[in-house]
């Protein structure tokens, strides 16, 4: 494998190059090494490395600074998808398949192409390529940089190159994970009446989650769809033992009109009587479409801004007081799927729109 990428080549081919570098969360070192070396070969950039996060900046003394960010990690690849040959990357006509094609190596390729082509931009630029986005928030490489070297991420506007189908997606939902646990009494399953089945005690909880009707909430003119779901379940000792403990992991995607604490209070009211422990949480972000810098981007790329249903690091920038939006190539509905793919034309169009806006 080459130690660096040719950032001057077609951005769709550059996307394929990135897909060919495995980078499941926790294993981003190889791709971070390649990105760092590729950026160091751009003489107009100052490059800094924080663990497996790479930051590159122009220092031209411009009146405004735009930060463009994207994560290097992907979720694991299902074995069935691997058997179909979706890793490494493969082309089917002008469609590129592979883990991370939409989430979000297409966006990272656009960042790298911009970093190469924009040696004298009208706005100073910061490029952040960070690790550990697809896991719990505490591991985030972006959080690490913002905590240890805040000045490096200061900007007038941050653009997350997450997949948005080439439209600005403003704000984002928050995310909350809770574990609901039940306790019982172990016994031999042949004498079940001597025990108390902890798994059976989850039945009402699962029924409540199944029947729950998630809200659609308007926030500053955009409609955010919520969701409350069981995302994991566990319990049991052996095939002949009544289980004395069980749990369900619950994920609540909540609109940005709520804080994390308000979201948790809502779930606790709904699941009153169950032991609930928060395992992970990240607040959402309001749209912020009234910001001048955001309006400038929307005007340049066209289309009608949409809400972001998933959580992205626009929320982290909001906490830092930095306006931020999502704008990138690819369909977010394909993220994490077995046949994840992106159109070459979408990646090229996204690059062209941002080049026009920044020059």
Q: Which residues are catalytic?
A: 73, 133
Q: Are the beta carbons of 185 and 199 closer than 8 angstroms?
A: no
Q: Count CB-CB contacts under 10 A for residue 42.
A: 19
Q: What is the CA radius of gyration of the chain?
A: 22
Helix (H) or strand (E) holding 110: helix 106-117
Tokens of 32: 């971070």
User: Among 314, 311, 213, which Cα is nearest to 270's?
Assistant: 213
Q: Is the dihedral of CA 77, 79, 80, 82 positive or negative?
A: positive
Q: Are the beta carbons of 142 and 295 closer than 8 angstroms?
A: no
Q: Are strands 53-57 and 46-50 parallel, antiparallel or unpaired?
A: antiparallel
User: What is the CA 232 to chain-centroid distance, rounded?
Assistant: 20
Sheet holding 169-170, edge to edge: 46-50, 53-57, 124-130, 65-71, 157-160, 324-326, 169-170, 306-307
Distances (CA, A) of 334 to 97, 307, 351, 355: 11, 17, 20, 26
User: Among 255, 203, 204, which Cα is nearest to 228's?
Assistant: 255
Q: What is the largest CA-CA distance in the chain?
A: 77
Find out whether the peptide bond into 76 is cis, omega within 30 degrees of 0: no
Q: How far apart are CA 322 and CA 285, in angstroms?
A: 11
Q: What count of residues does the chain have?
A: 359
- Angle among Cα 228, 233, 239 to the nearest 5 degrees reads 155
Dihedral, CA atoms, 152, 35, 102, 8, nearest 10 degrees? 110
């Amino acid at each position: 494998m080459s130690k660096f990428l040719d950032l001057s080549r077609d951005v769709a081919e550059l996307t394929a190059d990135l897909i060919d570098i495995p980078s499941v969360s926790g294993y981003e070192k190889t791709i971070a090494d390649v990105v760092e070396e590729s950026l160091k070969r751009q003489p107009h950039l100052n490059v800094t490395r924080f663990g497996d996060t790479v930051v590159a900046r122009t220092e031209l003394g411009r009146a405004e600074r735009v930060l463009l960010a994207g994560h290097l990690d992907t979720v694991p690849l299902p074995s069935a998808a691997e058997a179909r040959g979706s890793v490494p990357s493969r082309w089917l006509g002008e469609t590129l398949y592979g883990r991370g094609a939409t989430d979000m190596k297409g966006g990272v390729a656009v960042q790298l192409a911009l970093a190469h082509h924009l040696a004298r931009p009208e706005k100073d630029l910061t490029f952040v390529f960070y690790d550990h986005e697809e896991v719990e928030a505490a591991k985030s490489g972006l959080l690490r940089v913002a905590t240890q070297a805040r000045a490096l991420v200061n900007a007038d506007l941050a653009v997350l190159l997450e997949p948005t189908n080439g439209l600005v997606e403003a704000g984002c939902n928050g995310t909350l994970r809770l574990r609901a646990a039940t306790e019982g009494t172990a016994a031999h399953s042949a004498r079940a009446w001597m025990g108390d089945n902890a798994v059976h005690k989850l039945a009402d909880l699962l029924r409540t989650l199944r029947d729950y009707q998630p809200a659609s909430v308007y926030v500053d003119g955009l409609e955010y769809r919520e969701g409350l779901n069981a995302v994991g379940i566990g319990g049991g000792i052996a095939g002949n033992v009544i289980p004395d403990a069980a749990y369900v992991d619950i994920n609540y995607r909540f609109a940005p009109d709520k804080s994390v604490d308000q979201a948790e209070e809502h779930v606790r009211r709904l699941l009153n009587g169950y032991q609930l422990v928060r395992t992970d949480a990240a607040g959402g972000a309001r749209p912020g479409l009234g910001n001048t810098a955001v309006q400038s981007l929307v005007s340049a790329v066209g289309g009608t801004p949409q809400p972001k249903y998933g959580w992205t690091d626009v929320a982290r920038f909001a906490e830092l007081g930095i306006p931020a939006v999502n704008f990138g190539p690819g369909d977010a509905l394909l993220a994490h799927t077995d046949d994840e793919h992106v159109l070459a034309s979408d990646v090229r169009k996204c690059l062209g729109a941002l080049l026009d806006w920044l020059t």
